[in-house]
């Protein structure tokens, strides 16, 4: 009875030792009698106790490795400190275990030597301006070197580049000077733009003022012309009314001649030296000419007392009536 119990316990122990459960994104490197046997993927795996054993558990996830900060001398003999991180992934677990003793140490030392080689060919300014180029070169070199180890380098990133304190102070002074220069340039540009805007505003104001003055003159001239037209129309209406009144009264020739002489007297008092009179008034003027000759003879005998005599017409132009 006790023998059966002991046997059952032994069987359970052997079964427990034979069954292995591999987690997701992991593999087991299994050896049999000290020699590589197989790679157990995720899931249930059966091994032979005392003959097989798990050499290593390898993760297939992407992993990160911080490279210790390194003091590196640039091409222009400036010592800088570079902090780097490497992203890698194991693609062949057997090679990662059997081709190198410590994969992480191999990647670390290889990254350090590669960084020194790349930075040593660049100046300080180039290291700051070509960070992406440095990352690419590091990734290419490390990926080629670690391929035989069953490892793939996905990315290499430089976290920080620290120059010496004196160089850092000089760089800060240069940056401040550059900022001040840019500020002065922006200020002068703003002043120039402001002056241009003010000048443009004055120009537009002058143009608008000239346009307004021009419009005012045009409107003033139009108003004066309209006033002249209205006055002329009013006088024409007045003359027409007088003419119609006279025509309705049916005056005789003597009355017409008398009114013509009265009108001629008013015209003679004006400033003009040439008068246009209708042809019909020539009959009245013939008698007026005889009277004028008598008055002239009288004036020759009598000395001038005052200068109140009416102006003598220099030229009388008789216009004939227009025939239809």
The answer to whether 72 and 116 have CB atoms below 8 angstroms apart is yes
Q: What are the DSSP calls for 73-110, one per residue?
A: E-TTS-EEEEEEEEEEEES-HHHHHHT-S-HHHHHHHH
Domains annotated for the chain, with CATH where assigned, are 2-59 (no CATH), 63-163 (3.30.479.30), 253-301+313-324 (no CATH)
Q: How far apart are the first and last CA of the chain?
A: 166
For residue range 112-159, list pLDDT tens digits in order.
Answer: 999 999 999 998 888 888 888 999 999 999 999 999 999 999 999 998
For 35, 56, 142, 210, the CA distances from 19, given in Å and listed in that order, are 20, 16, 38, 103
Per-residue pLDDT of the chain (324 residues; tens, 9 = 90+): 677 787 778 777 877 778 888 898 899 999 988 888 999 998 888 888 888 888 899 999 999 999 999 899 999 888 899 999 999 999 999 999 999 989 999 999 999 999 999 999 998 888 888 888 999 999 999 999 999 999 999 999 998 888 888 877 777 777 778 777 887 888 888 888 888 888 888 888 888 888 888 888 888 888 888 888 887 777 777 777 766 666 666 655 656 566 665 665 655 555 545 555 555 555 555 555 555 454 455 444 444 444 444 444 333 444 444 443
Residue closest to 150 by CA, chosen among 97, 112, 101: 97
Alpha helices (runs of H) in the chain, residue ranges in sequence order: 2-18, 93-98, 103-119, 124-129, 131-146, 165-249, 253-268, 282-301
For residue range 282-314, list pLDDT tens digits in order.
Answer: 555 555 555 545 445 544 444 444 444 444 433
């Amino acid at each position: 009875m006790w023998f059966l119990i002991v046997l059952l316990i032994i069987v359970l122990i052997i079964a427990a030792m034979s069954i292995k459960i591999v987690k997701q994104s992991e593999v087991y490197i299994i050896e049999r009698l000290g020699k590589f046997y197989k790679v157990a993927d995720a899931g249930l795996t059966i091994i032979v106790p005392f003959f097989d054993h798990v050499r290593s558990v390898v993760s297939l996830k992407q992993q990160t490795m911080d490279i210790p900060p390194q003091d590196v001398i640039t091409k222009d003999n400036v010592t800088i400190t570079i902090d780097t991180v490497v992203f890698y992934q194991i693609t062949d677990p057997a090679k990662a275990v059997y081709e190198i003793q410590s994969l992480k140490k191999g990647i670390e030392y290889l990254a350090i030597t590669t960084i020194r080689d790349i930075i040593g060919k660049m100046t300080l300014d180039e290291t700051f301006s070509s960070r992406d180029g440095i990352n690419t070169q590091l990734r290419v070199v490390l990926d080629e070197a670690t391929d035989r180890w069953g490892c793939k380098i996905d990315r290499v990133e430089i976290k920080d580049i620290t120059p010496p304190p004196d160089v850092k102070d000089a760089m800060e002074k240069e940056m401040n000077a550059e900022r001040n220069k840019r500020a002065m340039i922006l200020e002068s540009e703003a002043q120039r733009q402001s002056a241009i805007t003010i000048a443009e505003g004055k120009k537009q104001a002058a143009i608008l003022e000239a346009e307004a003055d021009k419009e005012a003159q045009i409107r003033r001239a139009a108003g004066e012309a309209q006033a002249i037209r209205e006055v002329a129309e009013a006088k024409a209406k007045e003359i027409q009314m007088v003419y119609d009144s006279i025509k309705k009264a049916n005056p005789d020739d003597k009355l017409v001649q008398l009114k013509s002489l009265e009108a001629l007297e008013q015209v003679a008092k004006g400033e003009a030296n040439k008068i246009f009179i209708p042809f019909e008034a020539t009959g009245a003027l013939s008698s007026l000419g005889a009277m004028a000759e008598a008055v002239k003879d009288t004036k020759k005998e009598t000395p001038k007392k005052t200068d109140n005599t009416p102006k003598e017409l220099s030229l009388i132009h008789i216009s004939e009536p227009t025939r239809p």
